[in-house]
Amino acid sequence: MLQQRVIRQEVGGKMNIKHEEVQKYYDEHKTEFVRQERVFLRDIFISTEGKDAAGLAAAEKKAKDVVARARKGEKFPDLAKDNSDAVTAKTGGEMGGFKKGELNSVIENLIWSQPKGYVTDPVRVDAGYEIFKVEEHQKEGQAQLADVENEITEKLYAPKCSRPCAVI
């Protein structure tokens, strides 16, 4: 994602991809944009490992506070970097996309039908508390042009870039 953002900022400002080019690519490659239903998540994990009763209570309070902050509009990736004990903390809690059946059934039932931006209550797991945010819920079927326009634009950048562009 960082690479794509840098390319858009540095190269995109100097190159002009016309909407007609994007539309033409979409029309000629529609099969590339047939999607399976997936949900994209971020998480924050608050560990309770090795904690006494006071530590357990503090972890629960921290998890509830983080949820409240996320729901008030604080950026979830920043909250994850500052509060999560998971390895995903470095990437702002980014977990990627999951198809139905790939997640723990409790978590899947909790988030699957929720809209983009939904933040769960803390979920108690063996080693602590998990908080999930629905980043995107990609529906099954043909993706609309508006949903894939950035993806197409990035594909069209590549052949127009000089060699150093591909190295970015």
Q: What secondary structure letter does DSSP report for 144? A: P
- What per-residue confidence (pLDDT) applies to 143? 77
Report pLDDT for 4: 62
Closest among 115, 155, 117 to 133, alpha carbons compared: 117
Model pLDDT, residue 163: 45
What is the secondary structure of 90-106 as a DSSP string?
Answer: GGTTEEEEEETTSS-HH
pLDDT tens sequence for the chain (168 residues): 566 666 556 655 556 777 888 888 888 888 888 778 899 999 999 999 999 999 999 999 999 999 999 999 999 999 999 999 999 999 999 999 999 999 999 999 999 999 999 999 999 998 999 999 999 888 777 877 777 787 878 777 665 554 444 444
Residue given tokens 């769960």 in the structure block: 120
Q: What is the pLDDT of residue 46?
A: 97
Query: Using CA atoms, how far apart are residues 56 and 131, in angstroms rounded to an integer?
Result: 16
- Integer Cα distance of 51 and 122 in angstroms: 18
**Inter-residue contact 136 to 116 (CB < 8 Å):** yes
- Rounded CA gap, 100 and 106, in Å? 12
10: which residues sit within 8 A by CB, 6+ positions away? 168
Apex 143 CA angle, 119 and 160, nearest 5: 105
CB 58 within 8 A of CB 98: no
In three-state secondary structure terms, 31 is helix
- What is the Cα–Cα distance from 55 to 112, expressed in whole angstroms? 31
C-alpha distances in Å from residue 82, one per residue of 85, 90, 134: 9, 9, 19
